[in-house]
Amino acid sequence: MGDSDNARLGYFVDTLMRGDQSEAGVAAVASSSAQPTATQPVLPAEGATKLPVRSDSASTTASKVEVTGIVTYALAAGAMPQEDSRYIAGLIATRTGMAQDVALKTVNTSFAKLQSDLESQKLKAREAADKARKASSYAMLWVFISLLAGAFVASLFATMGGRRRDL
């Protein structure tokens, strides 16, 4: 991956870790009643309006690195495994205070958008490569024609010079 790809992936991970600050996101947190699992953080009891937000910068950086690795692997594989989606959603829910189900939906839609953007970039790269291939093919055709014409002219003048020498 190049530097721009790493920046794009870093941006993706940062947007995941931001959370939803809209009223719909806060309402979803308030109505959440998801059950915790071994890899998911404990969610608040019914009626709680917000999850506790974790702000430890060292664990946030470690989480971002871990999520970046998971997303990179998932992009290479072509799909994100469900357990990875749930794990990332748990990290996001813990970090942002977002409900687990909202975080899972955010992970899935963000990953789908990232895949779509990646496919779009691949298509643009293919189109640029095809355009460059056609241009180089056209240039090579004209180089061949000019070299052939030069060889013909050189042969013609060599023949004419040889005849003049023999006279």
Q: In a 10 Å sphere around its CB, with 0-12 CB exposed, 13-18 middle and 19+ buried, how is residue 148 labelled?
A: exposed
* Rounded Cα gap, residues 25 and 32, in angstroms: 11
For residue 79, give the DSSP letter.
Answer: S
Tens digits of per-residue pLDDT, 111-144? 999 999 999 999 999 999 999 999 999 999 999 9
Question: What integer pLDDT is reported at residue 161 of this predicted model?
Answer: 94
Question: What integer pLDDT is reported at residue 7 of this predicted model?
Answer: 64
Question: What integer pLDDT is reported at residue 70 of this predicted model?
Answer: 87
11 compared with 89, residue with greater pLDDT: 89
Tens digits of per-residue pLDDT, 23-68? 344 334 334 333 333 444 444 444 444 444 455 566 777 788 888 8
Q: Taking the mean position of all CA atoms in its chain, how far away is CA 78?
A: 11
Q: What token pair was written down for 4?
A: 């721009």
Q: In a 10 Å sphere around its CB, with 0-12 CB exposed, 13-18 middle and 19+ buried, how is residue 98 labelled?
A: buried
For the chain, the domains span 3-123
